[in-house]
Structure 1
């Protein structure tokens, strides 16, 4: 069973039909929408400010979500995938985004809807990423504008696949 720990009078809140891996950690002021999944070794540490996830969000293995004390929050919209070992530190990610493996989003960064942050990219504090784009590099820069078809294929289908994967685990792996 995942570690779900209240802190300072606030307990993590889960929406309907969420999957939490046995080694996932949720602490304090963390709220998950419906049909979310938090995978092995992921940590959502809402000890100093809130972490809010929309519906159908997947936080993949080893990812860390945290904030700055009284200076930033984590807000993640619907249908977002946060890749393996990514760090979201006090950033806002709107709907239908893909945060690549090992990417880092710093405090008060904003990733607008339909955007991909490439694996290993660094989105700086306060940086805004345009909607429907791909950002890559250190620091992250816009490298491509996505078509609606590419957004569907690369972002939406990824989120859908994680709904399927989570269903395998909640069904007992049969």
Structure 2
């Protein structure tokens, strides 16, 4: 188990401990529990909750989960014997206060501020779910599409992919926050200590 920090909770659950890459940035106030894997240069921003207690959660390299977001998964049911893990690919942007539950976000997906993505949903590469949208169970956003609304529906094709630039910017921003926290004497090293 990673060394504890007074401002971050990292807890095992039933023998499974979060696995956090040394280069990931975990901001103060985050809570990470159970079967969670966080990849290289990923960032979890202030006050996020990532809970892998009834299934697993994976966050890929350079993906960012912005402030106040909640990520959970779902256990097996008769209709879904494997349950619903939450799998987030590489270079994914997840806006502030998003709620992701038992869904899959492919590489370079973009999920806007305050969105809800429910069990069995898939957001393919280079697609976007607009701010405030709610993607209801089992929906699939195809590559290059923009969906929005509550419930979310197809709006239009994107003229270009949302781009990797946002993910790259967040990697640099995380490094800056880490340096500022260290300079302030808060004892923040890499994600794990």
**By the TM > 0.5 criterion, same fold?**
yes
- Structure 1 residues without counterparts, runs of 5 or longer: none
Residues 3 and 24, structure 1, Cα contact 8 Å, conserved in 2: yes
Quote the residue 2:22 is aligned against.
Answer: 16
1:91·1:110 contact (CA, 8 Å) conserved in 2? yes
Contact 1:15/1:34, CA 8 A, preserved across alignment: yes
Query: What does residue 105 of structure 2 align with?
Result: 93
How far did residue 155 of structure 1 move? 3.6
Confirm or deny that 1:165 pairs with 2:177: no
Q: Please give the secondary structure, in 2, of the residue aligned with 1:172.
A: helix
SS in 2 for 1:171: helix
- C-alpha deviations, 1:59-83, integer Å up to 9, x for none? 0000000011122110000000111
Q: Number of aligned pairs?
A: 170
Point out 4+ residue stretches in structure 1 off by more than 4 angstroms.
none
Cα distance between partner residues in 2 of 1:77 and 1:14: 15
Distance in 2 between the 1:73 and 1:103 partners?
Answer: 18
The match for 2:114 among 78, 102, 114 is: 102
Calculate the TM-score normalised by the size of structure 1.
0.93
Distance in 1 separating the partners of 2:28 and 2:163 = 26
Which runs of 5 or more residues in structure 2 are unaligned?
77-82, 184-193
1:113 equivalent among 125, 129, 136: 125
**Larger radius of gyration between Structure 1 and Structure 2:** 2
Using the TM superposition, give the Cα deviation of residue 171 of structure 1 relative to its aligned residue in structure 2, in angstroms: 2.1
- Larger relative contact order (CA 8 Å, sep ≥ 6): 2
Q: What CA deviation, in whole Å up to 9, does each residue of 1:52-110 have, x standing for no partner?
A: 11110100000000011122110000000111000000000000011100000000100
Corresponding residue for 1:58? 64
- Over the residues paired in the alignment, what is the CA RMSD in angstroms? 1.2
